[in-house]
Amino acid sequence: MPDPIGPVDSSRIPRFAGPATFARLPRLDQVERADVAVVGVPFDTGVSYRPGARFAPAAVREASRLLRPYHPGLDVSPFAAQQVVDAGDIAVNPFHINEAIETIEQAAGELLDTGARLVTIGGDHTIALPLLRSVARRHGPVALLHFDAHLDTWDTYFGAEYTHGTPFRRAVEEGILDTSALSHVGTRGPLYGKGDLDEDQKLGFGIVTSADVMRRGVDEIVQQLRERVGDRPLYVSIDIDVLDPAHAPGTGTPEAGGMTSRELLEILRGLAGCRLVGADVVEVAPAYDHAEITSMAASHVAYDLVSLLALGGRP
């Protein structure tokens, strides 16, 4: 088996030049196999406030030009340990949510059938549902760590069942999540009522708020999450608004009082060795992202997810 093809050599081609793929990695059609595929889903029809996440895959790829091949925090060279590729974007109907969900599920399933694991760059959080469907088809119901300012377990919004605020309720209803191993991380901000929390608990979710992370510290939170996940196949879904607007201003529904980018990355690194089977990073809205702070943070989150896949347990 040939050695993995890594990023373009930045000592030969400057980082501001060369291919606009994630981390300047090869495209899917340039390799014989792919262990990890970074794929974009430029879709934001499911948002309830500020649109613009359809432009995130391109922005995150551009911000990823500065990523380097060795991860000192995890002591791994993720692009040498596995073949990582940029699989391009899944093109979806921007006018029809149901059709878009079907397209994402089918395209993700086809990529998974090649043996690759996916790190998906959204897009809004609606895309998590079809991605979870495709992963559960291979692994059965999966554990979920959901990093977000919001619960995303509401029933409907303006009568719509499929929005960026409903994917995880639908996923529980469809039986594709292991309800003994579900956690929200980083939630905060006002709700419509206390009933939101009651309904969320009935679905099986535990909650680690951003205040919990601040008061209890990263190490204790990591231990709690690892105990809840155990050895189950794990999907990680990250809404970039889990970060405080100081660290991620470019998002659709910002909330004050969020986690720092350092806290998020350290919690992710604490998951090393878990059975990660897929992940997404969503809700980057470049139009509101001054100095590309949010896109840069998202690119590092995606890099850490790719690195965790290099270190993970059996898929």
Of the candidates 82, 79, 89, the residue with the CA atom closest to the CA atom of residue 111: 89
Quick one: average pLDDT of 117-132?
A: 98
| pLDDT recorded at residue 185 | 98
The two three-digit tokens of residue 68, written as one number: 């380097």
| pLDDT recorded at residue 1 | 76
Summarize pLDDT for 154-172 with one digit per residue, the tens: 999 999 999 999 999 999 9
CB atoms within 10 A of CB 53: 33
> Three-state secondary structure along 39-94?
EEECCCCCCCCCCCHHHHHHHHHHHHHHCCCCECCCCECHHHHCCEEEEEECCCCC
Tell me the pLDDT band of 2, cut-offs 50, 70 and 90: confident
Tell me the pLDDT band of 183, cut-offs 50, 70 and 90: very high
Q: Is 300 annotated as a binding residue?
A: no
Tell me the pLDDT band of 282, cut-offs 50, 70 and 90: very high
Strands 234-239 and 276-282, how do they pair? parallel
What angle, 0 to 180 degrees and rounded to 10, lies between the N-to-C axes of helices 128-139 and 97-113? 40
Q: What is the DSSP letter of 161?
A: S
Q: Is 86 annotated as a binding residue?
A: no
Beta bridge partners of 177: 142
Q: Is 231 annotated as a binding residue?
A: no
Backbone torsion region of residue 18, taken as left when φ is above 0, otherwise alpha when ψ lies between -120 and 50, otherwise beta: left
Tell me the pLDDT band of 252, cut-offs 50, 70 and 90: very high
The secondary structure element, H or E, covering residue 281 is strand 276-282
Q: What is the DSSP letter of 157?
A: B
Secondary structure E strands in 188-307: 205-209, 234-239, 276-282
Preceding peptide of 18 cis, ω within 30°: no
* Structural domain spans, the chain: 22-311
Which class does domain 22-311 fall in? Answer: alpha beta
The two three-digit tokens of residue 181, written as one number: 């191993």
The two three-digit tokens of residue 89, written as one number: 């974007």
The two three-digit tokens of residue 208, written as one number: 């680690």
Of the candidates 41, 21, 24, 175, the residue with the CA atom closest to the CA atom of residue 108: 41
CB atoms within 10 A of CB 42: 19
Amino acid identity for residue 144 in this structure: L
User: Please, what is the average pLDDT of the chain?
Assistant: 97
Q: Is 164 annotated as a binding residue?
A: no
Tell me the pLDDT band of 312, cut-offs 50, 70 and 90: confident
Evaluate if residue 11 carries a pLDDT over 80.
Answer: yes
Evaluate if residue 315 carries a pLDDT over 80.
Answer: no
